[in-house]
Structure 1
Amino acid sequence: MASRAETDQQPSARPERIGLKVLLAISFSHFLNDLIQSLIPAIYPLLKDSFQLSFTQIGLITLTFQMSASLLQPVVGFYTDRHPQPYSLTWGMGCTLLGLIALALAPSYGLLLIAVGLVGAGSSVFHPESSRVARMASAGQYGLAQSIFQVGGNAGTSAGPLLAALIVLPQGRQSLAWFSLVALLAMMILWRVGGWYKKKQEQERQRLKILPAAGGATRHPSATWPVAVLLVLMFSKFFYTTSLHSYLTFYMMHKFQVSVQSAQLHLFVFLFGVALGTILGGPIGDRIGRKQVIWWSIFGTAPFALALPHANLFWTGPLIFVIGLLMASAFPAIVVYAQELFPGKVGMISGLFFGLAFGLAGIGAALLGKLADIRGIDSVYQVCAWLPLLGVAALLLPDLRKRPTNG
């Protein structure tokens, strides 16, 4: 009893304050990172005309980017769980910078694929490690921290098409090189975050020397089945989301005969809804439970998704906003839910689920591009409209707030 009292008096037992400055820094870095990445699909109409690409080739560009990001992320997370690399975020952003410059100057389709692969590799380092930083700074408010981190990325993703419409499309692909300044800014911020990360690691090592040895963190006793359900939900969410992210501009131009700039503005509306949904999903999950957020976010999208292929130009804007809002609120809850299933493996789980998100989006883009080539762009939204109905599988997830007790 005396040792427990002594432990309670240690400085490490005092309530920890949320690291808001660090969260804002990593969120802003996420904004810059995803702004760069979102320029790739935003310039698809330009690339399609310049290189005479088919929808299948457009889909392969997305597939190359997403797969280079997705396959490496769990590996990075697995390694850094055991060997933390505080400054790896900076070097990953450097890889993104090289890919961006290559994308601006690539003279052939093959080199375009290499360029987007470099950008994807940078993302594979950034996401698992920055998600770990967000959790370290959360002070136990994991959903809120994950939302603050992710909303930066969603805001960057929504800003990319707007900047592409204002700068890249009028000035040409070579103007992408100016965005290397964005990557340099991100590298400077991430270097500072890396210093905080290193200091936090030292504090944790000192804390473990002071506190009595405790049992290692173990996974939730029934983790296998929930992970299978999460995979179904991820498939539903990201196949449907990529149909809007990759092909909405072509759909708007084909169905409503709007200009490229007008189509890009509608993509911005969708991505703004995504950003808003992301910031709401995490803290709501902290309050009412992550299972409930996942259920309402994915299955609740179904009526709007089913209505979208039949909507006129006026109603398409509100529908894609609501769809983005609802769908995006699920992902912070899914990531934190998975982290709670496997405590102590934050990097690997974050890398796995971010990587899975990128991979599913890439596969979806390639398959949906082929569908658009064969049956027309309208068919993409007629088929994908049914995917949110798979959200009913969220009912099978256990509520982790009600863990059974022994004895």
Structure 2
Amino acid sequence: MLVPEIDRGPPVWFRNDHFASASNRNDPRQFPVTTETPPETSAGRGRSDTTFIVGAVSIAHFLSHVYLLAYPPLFPLIGAEFGLTTTQLGLLVTAIYVPTLVLQLPLGELVDRIGAKRILVTGLVVTSLGVSLSGTAPTYWTLLAFALLSGIGQSVFHPADYAFLESVTDAANQGTAFGMHTFGGFAGFAAAPVVTGTIGIQFGWRVALPTVGVLGFVYAAALLVLAAPVYKRQIDARESSVTADTDVTDEDGTATLRATVAGLLRPALLFVFAFYFVSMMAIVALQSFTTVFAVDLGFSDSAANTVLTAYLVGSAVGVLAGGPLADRLPFQWVIVAAFGLAAVGIWYSVATAATASLLALVAIFGLVGLLMGIALPARDTLANSFSDAGSTGKSFGFFFTGLSLGAVISPTLLGALIDARSVFTAFVAVGGLLIVAASIVVALGLRARAKRG
């Protein structure tokens, strides 16, 4: 007797529902995507509201990344005026990132308490203010202080952005929304050198920074007004529900603080923190040292920048493709497959370095960038599956603290490895970091399976 084959889907431990915690088991984001149209949630998510919020938040993310790279294209001009060393110029970038290590988690908690819109608008104003005031800096130390101020504003974007996105998406479209948001950031990185560099060359760096900075003020005002109706329909309804479910009567807040810390130190969340930390070390290393890799092979600076451009363009395309993949496939498999193949590509570039042509190198790093980009929406979908209802800002603040830590440590650590050994040894290590990151995702799945018996 012939028995019809039953499609059992992916291995049971890799299904999305195995990553749900007991507190958010009923969240539709936790379960595999089906072809059925998902029901409307209690927040009343509408297609037009979702499109508006995803677009609005992605533009804010675009501006955030423009401001992250506002200074480097102007380094020759700033350095010449103040007589700065390369190390002193680099500290301007460090000053932007340092506040995110300290502030993302408490700001994420604040997002969960008072809402994402107000925090996002405030952060956009603060980071725009820091960049704008930089054009008036009379000394290097004043400029460094303004860069630090810009970094304080930067600290709000990830907790607020993801809380906004989570409030208007579900399992059917969340990966796509996260992909568009990430693409906005990549577009900002691409636009920053063109915009600030061009204005700086034509009119000077003291004109370029305020000119770019004013864009943030304009958009913050527009977002404050235009997002208000959507905010009332979507976010306020969700926050009211969360507030009713999580009312705390401890007046001094001690119990709330203990509960917050205990919740974030759950083993599963620490695994996700480690995943963000390790994967970001690999991403920043590729962004920072791909040109060094190409130059060490004997290619010119211009050719090396072509290789880096191929990687960045591949990443941007991959992000757009990765969003729908995260919606349609188990996002854990997307991460493991993409990171695993990217590691193979990096190791292949090292193994064939002696005979590699420029065209081959461009193709390899373009493919590596594509794979890295594909993994990013799935990465954020994975993280969101561990965010309890009403705690998206806090959870993403915690996870992106790991990301910021990886971004700060990676250039120094991998740079030291390049100095001590070689750039090829460092890139072998970068491939290893991707395998470690993929292994963390596998470990999360195995742990979830073991807990379910």
Q: Deviations over 1:249-297 (max 9, x none)?
A: 56656752334xx665654433222222223333312221121112122
Match of 2:176 in 1: 144
Separation of aligned partners in 1, 2:421 and 2:82: 22
Q: Post-superposition shift, 1:170? A: 6.6
Q: Post-superposition shift, 1:361? A: 0.5
1:68 equivalent to 2:102? Answer no
The answer to whether the 8 Å contact 1:273/1:324 transfers is yes
Q: Post-superposition shift, 1:78? A: 1.2
Within the candidate set 201, 211, 236, 1:178 is matched to 211
The answer to whether the 8 Å contact 1:150/1:278 transfers is yes
> 3-state DSSP class of the match of 1:342?
coil
Q: Deviations over 1:126-148 (max 9, x none)?
A: 22112111111214432222222
Mean CA deviation greater in 95-104 or 264-273: 264-273
1:334 equivalent to 2:379? Answer yes
Say if 1:205 and 1:179 are closer, same or farther in 2 by CA, change over 3 A.
Answer: closer
Match of 2:282 in 1: 240
What letter is aligned with 1:362?
V
The answer to whether the 8 Å contact 2:111/2:119 transfers is no
Q: Post-superposition shift, 1:404? A: 8.0
> 3-state DSSP class of the match of 2:385?
helix
Match of 1:190 in 2: 223
Q: Post-superposition shift, 1:301? A: 1.0
1:285 equivalent to 2:348? Answer no
Separation of aligned partners in 1, 2:403 and 2:381: 14
Separation of aligned partners in 2, 1:172 and 1:266: 29
Separation of aligned partners in 2, 1:268 and 1:194: 39
Separation of aligned partners in 2, 1:15 and 1:79: 24
Within the candidate set 293, 297, 300, 1:257 is matched to 300
Percent of aligned positions with the same letter in both sequences?
24
Match of 1:395 in 2: 442
Match of 1:384 in 2: 430
Separation of aligned partners in 2, 1:263 and 1:100: 30
Match of 2:37 in 1: none
Mean CA deviation greater in 125-134 or 135-144: 135-144
Separation of aligned partners in 1, 2:87 and 2:380: 31
Separation of aligned partners in 1, 2:379 and 2:140: 36
Mean CA deviation greater in 365-374 or 385-394: 365-374
TM-score (structure 1 length as normaliser): 0.79
Separation of aligned partners in 2, 1:170 and 1:377: 36
The answer to whether the 8 Å contact 2:318/2:372 transfers is yes
Match of 1:17 in 2: 46
TM-score (structure 2 length as normaliser): 0.72
Runs (5+) with no aligned partner, structure 1: 1-10
> 3-state DSSP class of the match of 2:434?
helix
Q: Deviations over 1:304-360 (max 9, x none)?
A: 222445244333322332222222333332232222223221011111222322221
Q: Post-superposition shift, 1:116? A: 2.7
Separation of aligned partners in 1, 2:289 and 2:278: 17
Say if 1:389 and 1:130 are closer, same or farther in 2 by CA, change over 3 A.
Answer: closer
> 3-state DSSP class of the match of 1:244?
helix
The answer to whether the 8 Å contact 1:93/1:187 transfers is yes
The answer to whether the 8 Å contact 1:88/1:125 transfers is yes
The answer to whether the 8 Å contact 1:34/1:154 transfers is yes
Within the candidate set 363, 370, 375, 1:325 is matched to 370
Separation of aligned partners in 1, 2:246 and 2:423: 57
Q: Deviations over 1:66-122 (max 9, x none)?
A: 221232111111122123253222221111112212444545543443233222211
The answer to whether the 8 Å contact 2:43/2:235 transfers is no
The answer to whether the 8 Å contact 1:97/1:184 transfers is yes
Match of 2:62 in 1: 31
Match of 2:388 in 1: 343
The answer to whether the 8 Å contact 1:89/1:130 transfers is yes
> 3-state DSSP class of the match of 1:341?
coil
1:227 equivalent to 2:300? Answer no
What letter is aligned with 1:301?
A
Q: Deviations over 1:175-231 (max 9, x none)?
A: 23321232233313321225532443443467789x9x8999x99x9x944434434
> 3-state DSSP class of the match of 1:301?
helix
The number of equivalent residue pairs is 391
Mean CA deviation greater in 147-156 or 331-340: 331-340
1:113-124 matches, within 5 Å, as: 113-124=144-155
The answer to whether the 8 Å contact 1:59/1:366 transfers is no
The answer to whether the 8 Å contact 1:159/1:268 transfers is no
> 3-state DSSP class of the match of 1:329?
helix
Separation of aligned partners in 2, 1:380 and 1:104: 37
